[in-house]
Amino acid sequence: MMRTIGLVSTNYSVEGYEDLCQNRPVAAVPFGGRYRFMDFALSNLVNAGIRTVGVVTPYYYRSILDHMGAGKAWSLDKKSGGLFVLPGTIHGFRDENGRFLLNDLLRNRQYLERGEADYVLCTDCSFLYNADYRPLMERHEVSGADVTLLYKPLEAGEKHRGSYLRTDENGRVTAIGAGESGEKLFLNCLIINKSFLLRFLDNYRHMSHRDLVERLSAQLAEVDVRAVAFEGFVGYTDGIADYLAASRSLLRREVRQELFGGERQIYTRIHDEPPTAFSAAAVVKNSVISSGGHIGGCVEDSVLFRGVVIEEGAEVKNCILMEKTVIRSGAVLENVICDKQVSVSGGVVLRGTAEHPCLLRKEKVI
Amino acid sequence: MRRKETVAMLLAGGQGSRLGVLTEKIAKPAVSFGGKYRMIDFSLSNCVNSGIDTVGVLIQYKPFILNKYLGTGSAWGLDEESGGVHILPPYATEKGGNWYQGTADAIYHNIDFIDGYDPEYVLILSGDHLYQMDYNLMLDYHKLMNAELTVAVKTVPMSEASRFGIMSTDEELRITRFTEKPKEPDSDLASMGIYIFTWKTLREALLRDHEQQDSEHDFGKNIIPTLLGQGRRLFAYVFNGYWKDVGTIPSYYATQMELLEENPAFRIFERRMRIFSNLNEHAPGYVGEGGSVKDSLCCNGCEVYGSVRHSVLSPGVYIGPNAVVEDSVLLPNSSVGEGAVVKRTILNEGAAIAALERVGSEDEICVVGTGSTMRVKE
């Protein structure tokens, strides 16, 4: 197999995430009890055997660097290759609607030029899935295409935010970003020949504020762009209602199995939390519970992150409670997302709906 | 190589034969404890929390899981450029090879390793004790007393003293007598098997002991009595915290049940002296619609569809629908099938209870392994 390096874009747009992205990019949003969105992108690359990964930092990247460290959790602390932090060029804009900005690639050209890789596998962090990228890499190599895009085939009537693809009978992509809906949702993941990418960057030197995918879409007649389907589970997180729904999909065994139970592990930063203590009064149903917690109350249809405390007499239903949330005795929460270290006093009753969940921002005390 | 003030030598070669099924395949220090830990985590974490970054781990009995678990030591923050974890098995020389014959013999064979770091002090630890201790305080005491050997001791009830190595001391806590398992103890200070030696003294003692044909090459039986006989400066360091050497199935079981108490004496869940472990790669746990977990400890990677009460669930445990688990300790990746009933039972790693099976009774502790089952009266 030819050599492939990875490139992770940690997302520019935070539209729809409200306070979840007040102080962090989408890539750093916590998910599933102990993960962050970017864990899926990094783990998918690593699980495909890729050991050189560049991460383009967004506008505010403290939480990204804090989470990644030297890349040890993903086995990316390497003598040769490993994790490369690629400083992004966007300053001051956090709602830029791009995925792989040409300027970010140009300014980090050294990362691409160094080494002997033949391909670059680029992905952002906005879709949550556990994919085997090797079929994508193999299909790309065999086809001889310049670029191969990964897409999710959608059911009729299913609709998500993103770019839809159109392909011809030979599998060539004829349109990217065609319309508001379609059968093929681009997963913001592609593999591209490195030499082609470098030439492409040179050509666009003077339009470097543009996005790679957007520029490709304008040149589909000249550039050989193909598409490969990913049939597995995808968690969509276009905003906080979707975030709640994607989190709740973890309550289904087959989803947990596919994301976390198979050969390909999703890696994340290790915290060394002790086991979670359930007291005699604990009533827990259909919930994902992470380590380090203390549970004495009622928990139903919820996802609890590390170190969450639910006191006896508290009730939690349909909630996502992030790290170190404390729910005091007598509080009742339904359809609520608590960001990290939120503290809810006894007597507080807070109900959102599945379509419009309440969001309590980080460290909020009510 | 950089010089180190203190090198820790961790004795992890023992079989722990009284743990039966649990040590069928693994050395005692690798036996799972408290959900996500293995016994060796406590001593290793103590080293890290005490700022000791050079640890030799002496292995001998069935070391595979232990070796894999230790890895580079990175799980404990012990992957150091200079120092870190060193796994030290018995080795061959031009005169042939020998197994480690005793605790002191194991250290004797690694004199060159220790010399490589040219340390002032050597800390001798066991890999299977349960406690949280700041070795720095003991080292300060060792220096203050200008001691050549400091032995950590714990007061035990007089009635139990004959089970331990007992130290008699003068008012200054200088050791005047040491007796292994005395019939009529004259002190309640029991050795915890934790020693700080001034390396120069230990090195000489090991070389001399190696020449003694009739020696068992054991710290308690040979090295300490000899040094005492020579009038060396031996001091007792009284440790007041929780400490346990779990040697039998009943004490292994009881110690874990104690973790379920409201304020357990063994405070392994406090951040202050954090216990690190290398069992951290599981997804969060899940409790199903018909599941129930009460009065229990539950780790990541557990899937509970049945009912669990007063039990410890290690990572990767599966409890099927309508299964009942009570007063039990389930080690990593063990499982209980649909409708099975498990009471007062220890399930060894990977052990599986079939659907509808009933295991355990009121008056004994049942230990189920992957191949065999044993029952132990309390």
Give A256→chain B minimum CA distance, Å: 9
Question: Residue A356 has what pLDDT?
Answer: 93
Give A296→chain B minimum CA distance, Å: 9
> Is some CB atom of chain A closer than 8 A to the CB atom of B279?
no
The average pLDDT across A267-278 equals 92
Which one-letter amino acid corresponds to residue B199? W
Of chain A residues 48-107, which have a CB less than 8 A from chain B?
72
Chain B partners of A267 at a C-beta cutoff of 8 Å? 281
Spatial separation of the C-alpha atoms in residues B352 and B347, rounded to whole Å: 8
Question: Residue A237 has what pLDDT?
Answer: 85
Sheet architecture: strand order including A283-285: A283-285, A298-300, A315-317, A332-334, A349-351
Q: Evaluate whether B313 touches B335 at the Cβ level (below 8 Å).
A: no
For residue B314, the chain A residue with the least C-alpha distance is A275
Residue, of A178 and A77, whose pLDDT is higher = A77
Angle at A276 between CA A275 and CA A278, to 5 degrees: 135
Q: Residue A292: is its pLDDT beyond 50? A: yes
Chain segment A188-241, per-residue pLDDT in tens:
999 999 999 999 999 888 877 788 888 899 999 999 999 999 999 999 988 888
pTM, rounded to two decimals:
0.91
Spatial separation of the C-alpha atoms in residues B56 and B100, rounded to whole Å: 14
In chain A, which residues fall in CATH 3.90.550.10?
Answer: 4-260
CA distances from B303 to A300, B259, B318, B334, B353 (A): 15, 21, 5, 11, 15
Spatial separation of the C-alpha atoms in residues B33 and B332, rounded to whole Å: 10
Give the phi and the psi of residue B329 in degrees, each rounded to 5: -120, 115
Question: Residue A2 has what pLDDT?
Answer: 60
Per-residue DSSP letter, A275? P
Q: Residue A95: is its pLDDT beyond 50? A: no
Question: Residue A4 has what pLDDT?
Answer: 94
Spatial separation of the C-alpha atoms in residues B5 and B25, rounded to whole Å: 36
Spatial separation of the C-alpha atoms in residues B357 and B336, rounded to whole Å: 9
Spatial separation of the C-alpha atoms in residues A51 and A53, rounded to whole Å: 6
Cβ of A272 within 8 Å of Cβ of B274? The answer is: yes
Among candidate residues B5, B82, B79, B12, the one with its CA nearest the CA of residue B41: B12
Q: How confident is the model at residue B63 (pLDDT cuts 50, 70, 90)?
A: confident
Question: Residue B148 has what pLDDT?
Answer: 97
Cβ of A256 within 8 Å of Cβ of B286? The answer is: yes
For residue A250, the chain B residue with the least C-alpha distance is B286
Question: Residue B154 has what pLDDT?
Answer: 94
Q: Has domain A277-360 been given CATH number 2.40.50.100? A: no
Interface test with B, best of A39, A278, A290 (most B CBs within 10 A): A278
Cβ of B281 within 8 Å of Cβ of A265? The answer is: yes
Spatial separation of the C-alpha atoms in residues B47 and B133, rounded to whole Å: 9
Question: Residue B1 has what pLDDT?
Answer: 59
Query: Which of these ranges, B10-19, B78-87, B284-293, has the smallest mean pLDDT?
Result: B10-19
Q: Residue A84: is its pLDDT beyond 80? A: yes
For residue B260, the chain A residue with the least C-alpha distance is A277
Q: Residue B2: is its pLDDT beyond 60? A: yes
Cβ of A290 within 8 Å of Cβ of B288? The answer is: no
Question: Residue B79 has what pLDDT?
Answer: 87
> Is some CB atom of chain B closer than 8 A to the CB atom of A274?
yes
Q: Classify strands A52-56 and A336-338 as parallel, antiparallel or unpaired.
A: unpaired
Q: How confident is the model at residue A98 (pLDDT cuts 50, 70, 90)?
A: low
Which one-letter amino acid corresponds to residue A96? E
Q: Residue B109: is its pLDDT beyond 60? A: yes
Spatial separation of the C-alpha atoms in residues A48 and B120, rounded to whole Å: 48
Angle at B85 between CA B82 and CA B86, to 5 degrees: 95
> Is some CB atom of chain B closer than 8 A to the CB atom of A263?
no
Question: Residue A152 has what pLDDT?
Answer: 96
Spatial separation of the C-alpha atoms in residues A260 and A264, rounded to whole Å: 8
Chain A partners of B36 at a C-beta cutoff of 8 Å? 274-275, 291
In chain A, which residues fall in CATH 2.160.10.10?
Answer: 277-360
Cβ of A278 within 8 Å of Cβ of B296? The answer is: yes
Question: Residue A97 has what pLDDT?
Answer: 58
> Is some CB atom of chain A closer than 8 A to the CB atom of B332?
no
Give B296→chain A minimum CA distance, Å: 5
Q: Evaluate whether A340 touches A322 at the Cβ level (below 8 Å).
A: yes
Spatial separation of the C-alpha atoms in residues A41 and A127, rounded to whole Å: 9
In this prediction the ipTM stands at 0.90
Spatial separation of the C-alpha atoms in residues B56 and B83, rounded to whole Å: 9
Q: Classify strands B32-33 and B318-319 as parallel, antiparallel or unpaired.
A: unpaired
Spatial separation of the C-alpha atoms in residues A1 and A356, rounded to whole Å: 47
Cβ of B294 within 8 Å of Cβ of A280? The answer is: yes
> Which CATH architecture is the domain A4-260 placed in?
Alpha-Beta Complex (3.90)
The average pLDDT across A333-338 equals 96
CA A132 to mean position of chain CA atoms: 16
Please report, rounded to a whole number, the percentage of residues in chain A having pLDDT higher than 90: 70
Q: Residue B118: is its pLDDT beyond 70? A: yes
Chain B partners of A285 at a C-beta cutoff of 8 Å? 287-289, 291
Specify whether the backbone of A247 is left (phi greater than 0), alpha (psi in -120 to 50) or beta: alpha
> Is some CB atom of chain A closer than 8 A to the CB atom of B99?
no
Q: How confident is the model at residue B32 (pLDDT cuts 50, 70, 90)?
A: very high
Quick one: tokens of A158? 């299913």
Q: Which helix (H) or strand (E) holds A332?
A: strand A332-334
Question: Residue A111 has what pLDDT?
Answer: 92
Cα-Cα end-to-end distance for chain B: 51
Q: How confident is the model at residue A161 (pLDDT cuts 50, 70, 90)?
A: confident
Q: Give the three-class secondary structure for A287.
A: strand
Quick one: tokens of A105? 């690639």
Q: Which helix (H) or strand (E) holds A185?
A: strand A184-193
Query: Which of these ranges, A126-130, A268-272, B34-38, B352-356, has the smallest mean pLDDT?
Result: A268-272
Q: How confident is the model at residue B138 (pLDDT cuts 50, 70, 90)?
A: very high
Q: Evaluate whether B369 touches B348 at the Cβ level (below 8 Å).
A: yes
Chain segment B174-223, per-residue pLDDT in tens:
999 998 888 888 899 999 999 999 999 999 999 999 999 999 999 999 99
Chain B partners of A290 at a C-beta cutoff of 8 Å? 284-285, 300
Q: Residue B83: is its pLDDT beyond 90? A: no
Question: Residue A92 has what pLDDT?
Answer: 45
Q: How many CB pairs under 8 A join A and B?
A: 97
Residue, of B14 and B349, whose pLDDT is higher = B349
Q: Give the three-class secondary structure for A179.
A: coil
Q: What is the mean pLDDT of chain A?
A: 91
The average pLDDT across A17-33 equals 88
Chain segment B238-279, per-residue pLDDT in tens:
999 999 988 889 999 999 999 999 888 898 877 778 899 998
Give B339→chain A minimum CA distance, Å: 18
